């Protein structure tokens, strides 16, 4: 679950704070970049936001942010036919690298939760309608 923004860094002219929602968006984007990820699993609340027309970039991501560290949980849907352990490991690496590079926070853990498998449906070519009503 998200925590309130903590003082991240004090400078001569003030403090820098990074909201947990920012970390969630970074983690979500890093996770969907990985080949084999069909999408994020956001549960009921994420589905309602999408129905209302809002794209939730932090869908399926929960973070805990401290002064210098962050812990991340991502919930994903994988594409059928891919090796789940390899996808999960790549998500962990990509999320950790992205958050640390962009924020300077030390990511202590990235937990990957697989919620579903997406099957690609083969689209059938439209059959030509040979029975025209009007000639």
Beta-carbon contacts of residue 112 (< 8 Å; ≥ 6 apart): 74, 76, 88, 91, 92
- pLDDT tens digits for 83-124? 999 999 999 999 999 999 999 999 999 999 999 998 987 655
Neighbouring residues of 97: CB distance < 8 A, sequence distance ≥ 6: 30
Read off the pLDDT of each residue in 15-32 and give the average, rounded to a whole number: 92
Residue 92, helix vs strand vs coil: helix
Residue 37: pLDDT band (50, 70, 90) is very high
Q: What is the pLDDT of residue 12?
A: 87
Q: Which are the contacts of 130, defined by CB distance < 8 A and separation ≥ 6?
A: none
Other CB atoms closer than 10 Å to residue 76's CB: what's the count? 26
Whole-number pLDDT of residue 75:
94
SS3 121: coil
pLDDT at 125 > cutoff 90: no
Which tens digit of pLDDT belongs to each residue from 45-83?
444 444 444 467 788 999 999 889 999 999 999 999 999
C-alpha closest to that of 31 among 81, 93, 101: 93
Distance CA 68, CA 96 (A): 14
Count CB atoms within 10 A of the CB of residue 15.
Answer: 11
């Amino acid at each position: 679950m998200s925590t309130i923004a903590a003082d991240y860094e004090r400078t001569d002219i003030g403090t820098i704070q990074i909201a947990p929602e920012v970390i969630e968006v970074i983690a979500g984007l890093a996770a969907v970049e990985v080949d084999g990820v069909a999408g994020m699993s956001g549960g009921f609340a994420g589905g309602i936001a999408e129905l209302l027309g809002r794209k939730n970039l932090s869908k399926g991501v929960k973070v805990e942010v401290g002064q210098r560290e962050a812990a991340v949980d991502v919930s994903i849907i994988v594409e059928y036919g891919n090796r789940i352990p390899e996808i999960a490991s790549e998500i962990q690496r990509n999320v950790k690298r992205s958050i640390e590079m962009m924020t300077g926070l030390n990511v202590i853990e990235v937990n990957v939760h697989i919620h579903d498998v997406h099957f690609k449906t083969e689209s059938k070519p439209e059959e030509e309608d040979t029975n025209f009503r009007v000639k």
